[in-house]
Amino acid sequence: MDWHQLWEITSAPDNVPIVALILLVPFYTWYGIRQALANDRLIAQLEADPQLAKTHHRKTMPWKAGWSKEIPVWPYLLRIEFLAAIVVTVILMVWSITLNAPLEELANPNLTMNPAKAPWYFLGLQEMLVYFDPWMAGVVMPSLIIVGLIVIPYIDANPLGAGYYTWKQRRFAISTFCFGFLFLWLLMVVIGTFIRGPGWMWFWPGQTWDPNNQVFEVNRDLPDLFRITNIWGKTIFGAIVMGIYFAVSGGVVHKLFTWSDWNKKVFAKMSFLQYITMQGFLTIMMLLPIKILIRHLFRIKYIWVTPWFNL
Amino acid sequence: MAEEHSGTPPKEAPSDVPSKKGLAAVLDEVREINTALVGKAKEDLESLKQPEKTAVFKSIFRVKHDESSRSRALGVLSNVFLHLHPSKINRDAVRYNYTWGMGGITFYLFVVLTFTGVLLMYYYHPTKGQAYRDIVYLMSDVPFGSLLRNMHRWAAHLMIITVWLHMFRVFLTGSYKKPREFNWCVGVILLVLTLLLSFTGYLLPDDQLGFWAVTVGTNMARATPFLGHEGPFGPLLHMTPYNDVRFALLGGSIVDANALLRAYIWHCIAIPVIASVFMIVHFWRVRKDGGISGPAPVVLEQEAIKAKVLPYVVPQHTE
């Protein structure tokens, strides 16, 4: 166990935000889920008792008859904003006094840093480079993430859960977003920061980052396993496999989506465009964990090999 | 004596008083002026106890600062910096547990970054060689220079964290749902701009860390389909290292002086201006779409069914 190595990574000034994230994200996830469960209990209670549903103020926050629904912004909101600004300023001051921003040697194109890492917030993309070619990991996937985020409001046809935390009413939406954000984005950032050492090789926490480390792994392509050598044979084979993948994963997404009775009704109301867009983004998103799995389990690099691109 | 003069200005001496002559008359006049001025001074001092009654105060603040709800509302609405707020909000919306305050903190960090960033610009030349020396000088010789740079760096990192958490909260509370769909899209653009702001700033110290991070980052652009010289179909469109999209980003085929200048202009002028425009739209739409989304009363499944047509359906689609 190389504690020194671990400390060196954790205490690197530019890694402090990730250490903060590792603490903040679980906290806020718990904080949100806790309120969602509280609201779910209230929803169950109101569904069981229609009379109560008519009179209840429908929030978990305390409420008494005679209280006004609204309060003046000054002073009740502005004083909080002012306090928040002071607290953030104090945190920044303390952080800036105690820790210097990193400054390495003068830039030198002849001396490659090993590992050469992107800024921490892009390490998820850099980690994706292990599983996809740069055109996919560096260009197509980031574009799809941005467009995928933008279309969320237009494909989420579930009218429930607007303006309050809930799990029960939005199970599918919340679990897919949390999977994407927590596992496919943040976990990849954490792996890129703490696990990937020189040569972008995998070092477990506490293992020494040895630049001379050798990995004896031979990756192969899926067509090789079937002894397909002709490039056109590989192209056609890969296209068929991808077709099967989208058919199967589309089916799985559909099953998961229409799991609950409520979502069956939501599906009935969705337009074709909404549904096909949702399917497209979710099946492409699932390519990442699947490629991670087949890489680590079967050492498979490409599924689809063509003269123009490899996937 | 003071009471006599308080409130009204001293009147001119009546004409029927016999006028004295010479020095005595002058002295009398001086004494009279003196008394008047002392009275005025006392009056001014007295008014300091109630500064909100002074003409200067009223000219600045325009409205009364008492506890009546009218004055409280006007205090917000008639102030240019505060008028983005409504005058009243949902009583539960001020609870920390609903919004986590992340959107507001993100905006505050943007303000901090603009402030510290402008100060940093006084000490920085975006030229090869000089840039790195400027940073070393800033860290070692400029009074509070290292504090300034550290604050800029850490606020930038913190801003990315708060943007992510803000987005996470907005998703968990379903706040992107009707009528706030478009504002979510504006928010996604702001997320991208925040990341780009941070990324362009990374190169500016011109040290190994920034140089290799930006080299790794922009190397991805080589692989852009159609537009990069190593990307799918790129060579078919005659892409080379000297005309592809990476060349456009860096102003050259390697990360060098032109890339530094481009990063500097994107970082200090172009992206902040674009981001500010999107922020204006974002905040404006928060208000126009009905203020912050909650905490809203929970809706039950039966009620959404009763509505027959779900509120959120493409109009032409019928059962």
Residues of A in contact with B161 (CB under 8 A): 17, 20-21, 24
* Interface contact A111, partner B, CB < 8 A: yes
- List chain B residues with CB under 8 Å of A145: none
What confidence score (pLDDT) does residue B311 get? 45
Contacts of A95 in chain B (CB under 8 A): 150, 154
In angstroms, the separation between the Cα of residue B55 and the nearest Cα of chain A is: 23
- The pLDDT of residue B11 is 56
Please tell me which of the candidates B96, B132, B175 has its beta carbon nearest to residue A163. B175
Q: A104 touching B, CB under 8 A?
A: yes
Calculate the alpha carbon distances from A291 to A110, A136, A176, A178, A181 in Å.
34, 12, 18, 19, 18
The alpha carbon dihedral of A253, A255, A257, A259 has a sign of: negative
Residues 137-166 of A with CB under 8 A from B: 137-140, 146, 149-150, 152-154, 156-166
pLDDT of B13: 53
Q: Provide the number of CB pairs (under 8 Å) joining chain A to chain B.
A: 310
Nearest to B300 among A47, A100, A133 (CB): A47
Helix/strand/coil (H, E, C) string of A226-287?
CCCCCHHHHHHHHHHHHHHHHHHHHHHHHHHHCCCHHHHHHHHHCCHHHHHHHHHHHHHHHH
Asked if A65 has any chain B CB less than 8 Å from its own CB, the reply is no
Q: Which residues of A touch B209 (CB under 8 A)?
A: 14, 102-104, 113
ipTM: 0.94
Say if B155 is an interface residue toward chain A (CB within 8 Å).
Answer: yes
Q: What is the per-residue burial (b if ≥16 Cβ within 10 Å, else e) of A257-289?
A: bbeeebbebbbebbbeebeebbbbbbbebbbbe
> Is A264 in CB contact (< 8 Å) with chain B?
no
B206/A107 Cβ within 8 A: yes
Candidate from B85, B151, B255 with C-beta closest to A73: B85
CB contact under 8 A, A28 and B100: yes
Q: Are B87 and A72 in contact (CB under 8 A)?
A: yes
**Cβ within 8 Å, pair B154-A107:** no
Residue A145 has a CB neighbour count (10 Å cut-off) of 20
Contact B168 A163 (CB under 8 A): no
Peptide bond preceding A75 in cis form (omega within 30 of 0): yes
Q: What is the rounded distance in angstroms from the CA atom of residue B270 to the CA atom of residue A301?
A: 40
pLDDT, residue B204, reads 95
Interface of B with A in 74-113 (CB under 8 A): 75-76, 82, 85-98, 100-101, 104-105, 108-109, 112
Q: Which of A39, A78, A96, A269 is the best residue to mutate to test the B interface, defined by the most B CB atoms within 10 Å of its own CB?
A: A96
Omega within 30 of 0 (cis) for the link into A115: yes
Query: Is some CB atom of chain A closer than 8 A to the CB atom of B254?
Result: yes
Q: Which residue is closest to A112 within chain B, CA to CA?
A: B212
Determine, for residues B177 and A156 on separate chains, whether the beta-carbon distance falls below 8 Å: yes
- B220 contacts chain A (CB < 8 A): yes
* pLDDT per 10-residue tile (average), chain A, 311 residues: 86 88 95 95 92 88 86 91 96 94 90 86 90 89 95 93 93 95 94 89 87 80 88 92 95 94 90 94 94 90 88 87
Supply the pLDDT for residue B52: 81
Enclosing H/E stretch for A72 = strand A70-72
Residue of A nearest to B128 (CA): A107
Q: Which residue of B has its CA nearest to A169?
A: B301
B75 CB neighbours in chain A (<8 A) are: 74
Contact B208 A107 (CB under 8 A): yes
Q: Decide if B69 touches A, using CB distance below 8 A.
A: yes
Query: Does B150 contact A95 at a Cβ distance shorter than 8 Å?
Result: yes
What confidence score (pLDDT) does residue B190 get?
97
Distance, in Å, from the CA atom of A201 to the CA atom of A210, rounded to the nearest integer, reads 10
Under 8 Å between Cβ of A47 and A39: no
- Quick one: pLDDT at residue A205? 87
Question: Rounded to a whole number, what is the distance in Å from the CA of A114 to chain B's nearest CA?
Answer: 10
Per-residue pLDDT of chain B (319 residues; tens, 9 = 90+): 444 444 555 555 555 555 667 899 999 999 999 999 999 999 989 888 888 888 888 888 878 778 888 888 888 888 888 888 999 998 898 889 999 999 999 999 999 999 999 999 999 999 998 999 999 999 999 999 999 999 999 999 999 999 999 999 999 999 999 899 999 999 999 999 999 999 999 999 999 999 998 998 888 888 899 999 888 888 889 999 999 999 999 999 889 999 999 999 999 999 999 999 999 999 999 999 988 888 999 999 888 866 544 444 444 444 3
Domains detected in chain B:
1-13+20-75 (no CATH), 99-289 (1.20.810.10)
By DSSP bridging, strand B88-90 and strand A70-72 are antiparallel
8 Å CB contact between A178 and A285: no
